[in-house]
Amino acid sequence: MEKRKLGSQGLEVSALGLGCMGMSFGYGVVEDKKEMIKLIHLAIEKGITFFDTAEVYGPFINEELVGEALKPFRTKVKIATKFGFNTRGGGGLNSRPENIRSVAEASLKRLQVEVIDLFYQHRVDPEVPMEDVAGTVGDLIKEGKVKYFGLSEAGVKNIRRAHAVQPVSALQSEYSLWWREPEEAIIPTLEELGIGFVPFSPLGKGFLTGQINENTTFDSKDFRSTVPRLSAENIRKNLVFVDFIRKIAERKNATPAQIALAWLLAQKPWIVPIPGTTKTHRLLENIDSTAVEFSKDELQDIEAEASKIKSSGDRYSEGSAKMIDR
């Protein structure tokens, strides 16, 4: 698989990564550990070298899974994990320097590594100056415990504040044909500063695969049950997006998911989507998206048609939306 560079500090990964959260968190089910290790090993076999986890996924058990699965391949892969939530009681955010250090030490042990490849601040903490966050991660980099610094769901102001203290290699935020807000200010800022972009939910939390409709029901423990955009009423309105993508897929002899991922890959050479899955056939389908190419005219046609479609519903519940930096 093609490699891409995230940021200008030297981080190079496969063009497509693997989001591992859903293997043990977020969808109401903790998948069989042995099966998930097999899936991760297949991803490596097929060329994926970039794996995404976080201490809050579980909490803790997803990092343990990823650490165990990747231990035999440590020199071939890059692991991204995250700090910034209160995982030991109390809830909410916590990016105080002492907590960042504590999380780093614990994550190193759970991941069974000597250095964390990419350490993201999971959410901007309004109670802690960004300069203190970036400075603490910068110190961890100097100490050899972290290689690269990342941010997740950060706004332009905080991206600039962090980057001025410690160069940021990657920003992780939601981005897809269904959610294009980053194009307004985030992507131009990343391009200016030389920061890579890692879109999560590149398939719209599964919606852009075409496998979800207004009759789909989500388990109460599945976080998608709280997403306004995925209510039955909004799904019904948003299916026009899936129909649009399905038409492109038919012309390109591809699946809707492959079109959605290939479109992201075509936007910038420093964009690396991280679709998550727990199924072998979906993993292989996603990987094959890297072979789908668009001409300049095709991209312009997609842009023209997509601009006519308006999505319905917010992408986060009210509580989660409060943690998004603007």
Helix (H, G, I), strand (E, B) or coil at 10: coil
Could you tell me how many residues make up the chain?
Answer: 326
Distance CA 22, CA 11 (A): 25
57 carries an active-site annotation = yes
Burial of 288 (0-12, 13-18, 19+ CB in 10 A): middle
Cα–Cα distance list, 11 to 7, 29, 286 (Å): 7, 33, 22
Helix (H, G, I), strand (E, B) or coil at 316: coil
Helix (H, G, I), strand (E, B) or coil at 87: coil
From the candidates 57, 120, 148, 175, give the one annotated as an active-site residue: 57
Burial of 232 (0-12, 13-18, 19+ CB in 10 A): exposed
Q: How many CB atoms lie within 10 A of CB 166?
A: 23
Q: Phi and psi of 288, rounded to 5°?
A: -65, -15
- Catalytic positions, written as ranges: 57
